[in-house]
């Protein structure tokens, strides 16, 4: 299970003064890493699984880090959301940008999962 802290977005928000003052950037990244690890742990506790799952948190450009990891670990399948959770306005601009780039660069099969509101109400098993 991998989470990538998008450093380009964090840096852009910092330049705009939306997240932190420059002197607080190191502490901010520590907090983001801690929050990502905590949320991953909570998610894994909430979902039953038989196999051990490794949690990985990295900083970088999401599609680059995902593709790099997939190649290094010889991953057969990547599963990721087709939507990154941006605000309503940003959603229209960036919808699926990371998923699209992962599909194009990963070098393995990629399964994208739409947000809950776009999923069908009744699951069909083939």
Rounded to whole angstroms, how far apart are CA atoms 117 and 91?
Answer: 14
For the chain, which residues make up each domain, given as ranges? Answer: 1-60, 61-117
pLDDT one-digit tens code per residue, 12-58:
766 776 665 556 777 788 888 999 999 989 988 888 888 888 899 99
Other C-beta atoms closer than 10 Å to the C-beta of 117 total 6
Other C-beta atoms closer than 10 Å to the C-beta of 31 total 12
Looking at the predicted structure, is the pLDDT value of residue 100 above 90?
no
Token code pair at residue 85: 């959770």
Determine the pLDDT at residue 89: 47
pLDDT one-digit tens code per residue, 46-99:
888 888 888 999 999 999 999 999 999 999 999 998 876 544 545 444 446 888
Token code pair at residue 75: 């991953």
**Which letter does DSSP use for residue 22 in this model?**
G
**Which superfamily, per CATH, for 61-117?**
HUPs (3.40.50.620)
User: Burial of 67 by CB count in 10 Å (0-12 exposed, 13-18 middle, 19+ buried)?
Assistant: buried
User: Burial of 78 by CB count in 10 Å (0-12 exposed, 13-18 middle, 19+ buried)?
Assistant: buried
Determine the pLDDT at residue 110: 94
């Amino acid at each position: 299970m991998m989470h990538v802290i998008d450093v380009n977005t964090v840096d852009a928000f910092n330049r705009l003064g939306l997240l932190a003052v420059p002197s607080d950037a190191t502490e901010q990244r520590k907090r983001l890493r801690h929050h990502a690890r905590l949320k991953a742990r909570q998610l894994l506790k909430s979902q039953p699984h038989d196999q051990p799952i490794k949690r990985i948190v990295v900083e970088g450009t999401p599609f680059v880090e995902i593709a790099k990891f997939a190649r290094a670990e010889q991953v057969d399948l990547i599963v990721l959301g087709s939507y990154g959770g941006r605000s309503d306005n940003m959603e229209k601009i960036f919808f699926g940008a990371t998923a699209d780039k992962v599909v194009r660069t990963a070098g393995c099969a990629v399964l994208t999962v739409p947000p809950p509101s776009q999923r069908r109400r009744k699951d069909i098993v083939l």
